[in-house]
Amino acid sequence: MTGYTFLDLARWFLLRFDSYCPDSDGLRYKKQIHGRESISQLFSFSSFYSSTLFSNFLMSNLDSTTVAIYGLVAVLPVASLLLFQKVNEKNPVPAVIGSEGLIASFKAVRYFVDEPLKVVQQGYDQFKGGVFRVPRRWRWDYIVSGNQRIKEVGSAPEDVLSFIDGAGEVIQAKYTQGHELSDNPYHIAVVRTSLTRNLGKIFPEVRDEIECAFDEVFALPEDDWKLVPVLPSIMKVIARTSNRLFVGLPLCRNEDFLRLNVLNTIEVVERGQKLAAYPDFLKPLVAPFIITRQKRMREMLGFVGDMIKDRIAKDDALGTNYEGRPNDMISWLLELADAEGRTPDRIAGRILSLNMAAIHTTSMALTHAIFYITTYPEYLEPIREEVENVVRAEGWTKSALNSMHKLDSFVRETQRMEGNGPVTMARKVIGKDGFTFSDGINVPRGSFIYVSAKPIHYDANLHENPRVFKGFRYAQLRDEKADKHTVEEGIFNSHMVTTSMEHLSFGHGKHACPGRFFAATEIKAMLAHLIVNFDMKAEVPGVHPPSDEHGMVAVPNQKAGIFVRRRQV
């Protein structure tokens, strides 16, 4: 039997109405067909589509339920398009693209996916300090800038602007991570408290795993250069290092266990984006055919199920302060889990999801830093000298990393230049009456709000020569503040983990990335290790591998490599 999917329909509409085309600046869409003709063509297509489906029904022995489902699917695209247009006509918030007609809006969706930074940058320039809209497949998203609006978004209560729902939108977390994690995200509190608080104590284990992991993953010849794919290699190293703290030895070095977590990370991102293409009411129906969560959960339980079961039994018998109790993520999760969540399968699910978060975000940030240090090799020697001097005085410790100001500045500058995409601070509006800014602008319930990120990072009024990479930008700022004997706030604002309204890589406000302290520790420890133990150079000298941008998400180049050899002293 021949059938049509919603994506097939979307493609048909984009091809059918090519007369809606971009003008000279590529961002505004000119309406070439009168609205009445557009609507009539839509209904003509609906009739054709329905009759085609009906013919298929006659050729197949389908039950009445299946016929009803296909009949519903036949009219839903048109209904969705009309609703999209109706909402657009009544919305007072300006749209950067896609506001001039029904089909123009849907072509604009495609353009935004392909050129997100151009669209967000135009909106920022045109409505600076205000609110503007960008079209998505089944809704409008709202993007804001300006200190007052950033403050209001960052401080809004969770029952009005949901951080959990916003953060989970890109990967469709309720499906890729499970409803239980979204409904009771206590693991975020574990990361914010137990993990962050114990970083100093567990740093020797982090350092040990970094040394072992890079040697094994790089597998370098004795004295020769080797071309190493950066992102895949870094994902393996971070998976090992993170799991040294999550599940401990020897499991953190088990190749099958590591492969599971890296694969799950990739699948969550890719399949989550695929699921996001469908309207909300269809997601429960199509998710089982797209999402691999249950399969990966069974595999994870096979690795950690017995371990967690034994830990629960020991805690029940001896309490949580017995001698030799592991100081790791499993223990911390068991301490905060409620009775329902204190089971092997529930804890295993948290471990799987924490792996995804740690591997995905930290791998991207470190990969960016490696690309920049090899594109601008003049920074290698000054950072190497700083690291060696600090280690000579303090050893390889967590506190020693805090003394590596040039290293910290370099990583922070790569974040400013790249980040995770054109926007940040995703929030879903769940308040009954939507969300109203202090100036009266209302964003309707069910919408998503984002804060402009890259346009702020590239704003010449906020950063000197913002499009020029200056690796020691923040180290120099720190020195200037210290020389002027200014308040400590000015110094701390230059630290990698510090958020501000001018530097939004980790978000800002009460929901700033809770794992940023752990991520910063891993990133700086790994980059410092690479710089003092290896020689590195770009695959193509002087050429920075371009990032891949897709809608709200940007990732470092997934195919680029660098040449590495053991350091020649």
3-state secondary structure 287-333: HHHHCCHHHHHHHHHHHHHHHHHHHHHHHHHHCCCCCCCCCCHHHHH
What is the pLDDT, as a whole number, of residue 236?
98
Instruction: Look up residue 266 and give its DSSP letter.
Output: H
SS3 467: coil
Band of pLDDT at residue 478, cut at 50, 70 and 90: confident
- Dihedral (CA of 116, 119, 125, 127) sign: negative
Note whether residue 232 is domain-resident.
yes
Residue 318, domain extent: 180-566
Which range is least confidently modeled, 4-13, 311-320, 372-381? Answer: 4-13
Candidates 471, 457, 468; CA nearest to 117 is 457
pLDDT confidence of 436, banded at 50, 70, 90? very high
pLDDT for 540-553, tens place per residue? 999 999 998 777 78
Handedness of CA 332, 337, 339, 342 (dihedral sign): negative
12 is a domain residue? no
Query: Which residues fall within 8 angstroms of residue 60, CB to CB, at 6 or more apart?
Result: 1
Q: Is residue 19 domain-resident?
A: no
- Indicate whether 475 belongs to any domain: yes
Q: Which pair of structure tokens corresponds to residue 325?
A: 């109790």
Lowest mean pLDDT among 63-77, 362-376, 398-412: 63-77
Q: What is the mean pLDDT of residues 314-328?
A: 96
Q: Is residue 433 part of a domain?
A: yes
- Spatial separation of the C-alpha atoms in residues 228 and 232, rounded to whole Å: 9
- Continuous segment of H or E residues that includes residue 206: helix 199-218
Which run of H or of E encompasses 458?
A: none
Calpha distance 234→218 (Å, rounded): 10
Give the whole-angstrom CA distance, residue 360 versus residue 349: 17
Total domains, the chain: 1
Token match 């567990």: residue?
202
Exposure string (b/e) for 293-310, b if CB count within 10 Å is 16 or more? beebbebbbebbbebbee
The answer to whether 21 is annotated as binding is no
pLDDT category of residue 277 using cuts at 50, 70 and 90: confident
Q: What is the number of other CB atoms lying within 10 angstroms of the CB of residue 358?
A: 26
Q: Dig out the tokens for 450 from the structure.
A: 């984002």
Q: What is the mean pLDDT of residues 519-527?
A: 98
112 occurs within a structural domain: no
Place of tokens 């574990």: 190
Instruction: Say if CB 275 and CB 356 are below 8 A apart.
Output: no
Q: Would you say residue 339 lies in a domain?
A: yes
CATH code of the domain in which 441 resides: 1.10.630.10
In a domain, 332, yes or no: yes
CA distances (Å), origin 80, targets 98, 281, 318, 480: 15, 12, 58, 56
Q: Using only C-alpha atoms, what is the Rg of the chain?
A: 26
Reported as a single tens digit per residue, the pLDDT across 498-509 is 999 999 999 999
